[in-house]
Amino acid sequence: MARLKVAVLISGRGSNLQALLDAAGRPEFPAEVVLVISNSASAYGLERARAAGVAGLVIDHRAFPDRAAFDQAMDAELRRCGAELVCLAGFMRLLGPAFATAWRGRMINIHPSLLPSFKGLHTHRQALEAGVKLHGCSVHFVTPDLDDGPIIVQGAVPVLDGDDEDRLAARVLTVEHRIYPLAVRLIAEGRVELSGRLARVHGGAGQTESLLNPDF
């Protein structure tokens, strides 16, 4: 069976990109990373792509007159490489509604909170200020609305006494690296069905459940 062709959009260090590259490096994984695009030439994630033998490309948003032109340039490269799924991994640019709509159902993001709680930036600070006892991360389909698409997988961690933003973020990041490849696998295996605002996962619930409840 042909492996699903994945493109990854990054802006920085690319730790979630590395998790996807590591997963794709295993022969049994049903997806491969075919292109990494960064809007910043200094993004360390481009080094990760090179080390893995994956093509990397810089499309600097500052070189375009507006967001629509930038989005069009990215869209052209994604189509040129034959991408079937686009993964946002620390991509720090808002995507225009036309781009999000064109890739609807074929573009996912990982967000460091248990959506729909704590959308946007500074999610760990938001969680600490709210006094929640569980925090975590979500992989969701991208829609034109920020952090609002159907949720595929979530991973939870406890909020511990004495946590600050950095300690909580580090605990959440460990889970991000586990659930992002899981979400890609589920999609590549055809086990994710979009139904309105819901993403339904079929089969293998035990595997999903074990990763949603890591032992910390």
Q: Decide if 177 is catalytic.
A: no
Cβ-based neighbours of 32, under 8 Å, separated by 6 or more: 3, 4, 5, 6, 24
The active-site residue out of 61, 111, 124, 135 is 111
112 DSSP assignment:
S
Amino acid at 42: S
Q: How far apart are CA 158 and CA 137, in angstroms?
A: 12
Task: Name the residue among 106, 96, 168 with its Cα closest to residue 136.
Answer: 168
Burial of 144 (0-12, 13-18, 19+ CB in 10 A): middle
**Cα 73 to the center of its chain, rounded Å:** 20
DSSP state of 117: S
Q: How is residue 139 written in tokens? A: 């992989």
Among all chains, which residue has been given the structure tokens 């799924």? 85
Best CA proximity match to 53, nearest among 35, 38, 39: 35
Catalytic residues: 111
